[in-house]
Amino acid sequence: MTRRAIRPPASGRFAATIGAALVAVAVLLLVGFTALAAELPALTGRVVDNAGIIDAATEATLTRKLADFEAKSSDQVVVATINSLDGEEIEPYANRLFRAWKLGQAGEDNGVLLLVAQNDRKMRIEVGYGLEGTLTDLHTKLIIENDMVPAFRAGDFSGGIAKAVDDMVMVLEGNPEELEARG
């Protein structure tokens, strides 16, 4: 009795080929999206000015102000500037950076990240869940539109960031009325 090789029907081979191709495409997409993600800077202090847009005096003032605020309230605010998002959208980048830096206290999630991507002309205030009821989306929008955008258009990055930090601290200290009135 001779043995014949059992071959799957042609439709089975086709399905296996398509399945293998889909797996390969999925792997390529996953690797491709990971490669497209912009690199995250290291957390080196309360102000991480990788874009070099904050003057030394303002950086020193912001660092002192943010340290004093954190000591008083336990809320942590960090300012970060980068040159470019390298094609990534600012929202996921800010979220990745916030999580990588582990801003705020563990269990409290009381951190805030002010991110500026200079070459992309984008900015975002990423707020931890523990502060979302205090520093709301409305507040962050007002701070960006009323403090940062006009100052940045005038070329005053240091002034826009300093004013934004002042307004964030004011709201986090429980005084949002002035910011809302200006809006």
Helices 157-172 and 56-73 meet at what angle, rounded to 10?
A: 10
Tell me, yes or no, if the pTM score tops 0.75. Answer: yes
Angle at 149 between CA 145 and CA 151, to 5 degrees: 125
Please list, in sequence order, all residues whose beta carbon lies within 8 angstroms of the beta carbon of residue 5, skipping any fewer than 6 positions away. none
Task: Please indicate, yes or no, whether residues 120 and 74 belong to a single structural domain of this protein.
Answer: yes
Is the residue at 140 inside a domain?
yes
pLDDT value at residue 32? 46
Using one digit for the tens of pLDDT, what is the confidence trace for 128-181?
A: 999 999 999 999 999 999 999 999 999 999 999 999 999 999 999 999 999 999
Provide the domain limits for residue 23. 8-37
Are both 25 and 64 inside the same structural domain? no
Alpha-carbon gap, residue 92 to 136, rounded angstroms: 18
114 shares a domain with 93: yes
Q: What is the CATH number of the domain that holds 87?
A: 3.10.310.50
DSSP line for 2-17: --------HHHHHHHH
Q: Do the domain assignments include residue 126? A: yes
